[in-house]
Structure 1
Amino acid sequence: MASLNQQPIHHFLFIPLMTRSHLIPFTDLAKALAHHGQQVTIVMTPLNAARFSDDYAINFNLNIQFLPLYFPAQEVGLPQGCEAMDSLPSPDMATKFLQASNMLQQPLEKWLQGLDSLSLPSCIISDVCFPWTSILALKFNVSRVVFHTVSCFTLLCSHNIDHYKVFDERDKSDFEPVLVPDLPDRIEITKAQLPFFGKNKALDDSKKVLKQFKEAEASAMAVVVNSFQELEPGYVKAYQKFVNNLWCIGPLCLYNKTTRSEASIDDHKSLNWLDSQKPNSVIYVCFGSLFHIFDQQLMELGLGLETSNCPFVWVIKEGSYTAELDKCFITHCGWSSTLEGIIAGLPLITWPMSNEQFYNEKLIVQVVKIGVKIGVEKPMKAPEVLVKKEEVLKAIKQVIDGGEEGEERKKRAKKLGEMAKMAVENGGSSCSNLTSLIHL
């Protein structure tokens, strides 16, 4: 990415949600800004600060610092040392985790009060789930930007479902497909496939929280999204109507060549084995760091992969991504992993598990048409088997030997990967939007 000329120098204060799928893109954005002379302070908890200092070599002569704040896990009933959402013993504890995260407001405000006028941040960039950052921005007279680590497709679907009260009828089945109104494409979704807050619209607390999120977003000076214009132009244009400025600035991992991805390999034997394989021959499997697949389901997946007679690598931990060897990517449709597959120019086999992943699957399969569904229609719960080995094999064959349709899918995936890389280059859409953020 080329340098930006005649740019102002700002001090950005980042306030991310403490989970890997948010911390990674926040850190990537910090590096992108710091590479252009900007100062960045990232609010962290002590354990996350230690982890990301090591993982990302944050001190590469860049003006980035971590602000470690005590995380009140035990005060809200979480286990001691539970400082990241991806380390929660149960997804049911997510509400408590958000409660603890909101308690960071007071110590952060105290830190800001201790700064002189020259040291104060000039802009706060926060996760959407922290509406209290609008209070800080007003109190200290700084601009505020909301950062979304999901796609504009997801944002627009969520907005329209809420606006048109699609699932407000209490008697609606959890598994009845319902049309999402007013989208550029015909998209149906079931109540079971909605993210956590979407499923609980009947609860007064959830309605209140969602309203706070929306109000904080609407009052922000800008909204930035880890996506790129060419991926979802109709959804970018449609969502722009609801915010002051909407800038796609991704894929952020392309700004940061040292980033370890969500879907990557870091094992000497595995890398040696990959080096021995032919280009575009390996099936790549990764389900991120947040979700646990139970034994019976693991067995079915393994048998399906084995029956395909294709070499495959199943990634459990992070390391160095080697996409040039791969022919397709079996993914849980986490947004970071989805972007990595898109960048690699690979057709995707989609296996959503929770959160916004069912939205991402619909974007991949129905909108940009670079993926094949493995057949999951609801979130995974222990200890059920949602996908049989035969379904795994069917999806693999559909991608690898899909005839004319399969070849067109591969061409679209390759072209989209090229467009993703061009977006962050000099003159690209995301690079230009990053300039707009710096000049805000």
Structure 2
Amino acid sequence: MISFYRMALLQVLDILCLVVALTISGLTTIEPGLNVFDDYTGASLFTVFFYLLFFYILDAYSVGMEDFKETCGRVLVACVLAIISSATASYSFDHWRFDRETALLLFCLSMLFCLGWRFLYYLNADKVTHPLRVLFIGVDRAGKVRQMLAESLPKATILGYVGEPGQAPDAGPCLGAPFQALSIAREKGATIIVLLPDAPIDDDIARDLLDAKLRGAMIVDIRAFYEHVAHRLPIGLITDEWLLQSEGFSLNTRGSLRRLKRALDVMISLLLLIPAGPVMLITALLIRLESPGPVIYTQSRVGLFEKEFTVYKFRSMRTDAEKNGAVWAKAHDDRVTRVGRIIRKVRIDELPQIWNILKGDMSFIGPRPERMTFVRQLKESIPYYGMRHMVKPGLTGWAQVCYPYGASEDDARRKLEYDLYYIKNMSILLDIHIIFKTVGVVLFPKGAR
């Protein structure tokens, strides 16, 4: 997950690249006496807006967190969509519209420049980034933190811990006593101090740490650190008391949010039906031609307050897929048809659930609805699993865009951490962010089964 400040900095780089591309295009292809910014203001503004929008939607700011080839693909698709969208948007403004020669040159230059700084970033990543340097106070759950850092911030360094020596290898070497935490942090160049559950802190140490925090030092509780870095809640670290006292989880006391969310569900679903209609008709025809059986697959799923409802999906498996009972989906599942494999990859099989949203069984954004068979099983083995049913299930959601399709109990545990983060921080702005990420996931599918 990318921090706000890092993304803002990278967006500034893209804006500079676009301004340079616009300037060169204007000087090269626009007739003398005209200025690309003064005489083509609308086209220039639309260009910058749509480029930044599609860079954001397609997650083109994960620079250094993925293979450069994938970054190239994201930038290329974003540039194509941006130039088409900006040309379409400025079409009604004749005196603001770029001609074809200008638009083509602008597309080539913008893609070249925006890819260029990303390439330089990859070449010099070690010089331009300052990896997190972590000092623990305590050792409990250090292994879990190490795993989380490896997944979310692979370049972070765990310096060690302060506390009793020889307690846990996962926490690294013991660097001293708890009262020496601040001096050790300065000596080792720690950028953050993380308080683990067993942190041996008395009143004097707490006062010193608070004073340092007020002066700008980064000192955080492990649960807040986990939530901020990984954007999920650590099931193994949270307690009922923490959930009660922590900010958030106020979704059912905010009636205005529920009403606004419902209004947006209906509006988005109706708007989505316009482009989705032809796609759904073609999908239904292909399913009918490939294999016998119903086009629409119905199944009982668990919704709000664990009430069951009937969910609708395009059938993507053979009709005998569960003749021996319910089983988890798996990678390269041989029960999936050829058409089913395609529509699952781009999430077309979920489109009939628009009807569930209009009926009120589901929301556009929320946890993925599961079957009662799996819900009973997972509630027995995963703490707080029932909390995900405090909101309506969704066509898409935070867990769906952040983690591949769940196919085991371990996957369900990880996805629940994302679901709990969403429930804790639920807002319209977060919903909008999820919608944008969903578009990116559909265009660059990962983990669909």
What TM-score, normalized by structure 1, do the two folds share?
0.25
Greater fraction helix: 2
Which structure is higher in RCO with an 8 Å CA cutoff and minimum separation 6? Answer: 1
What TM-score, normalized by structure 2, do the two folds share?
0.24
Structure showing greater Rg: 2
Greater fraction strand: 1
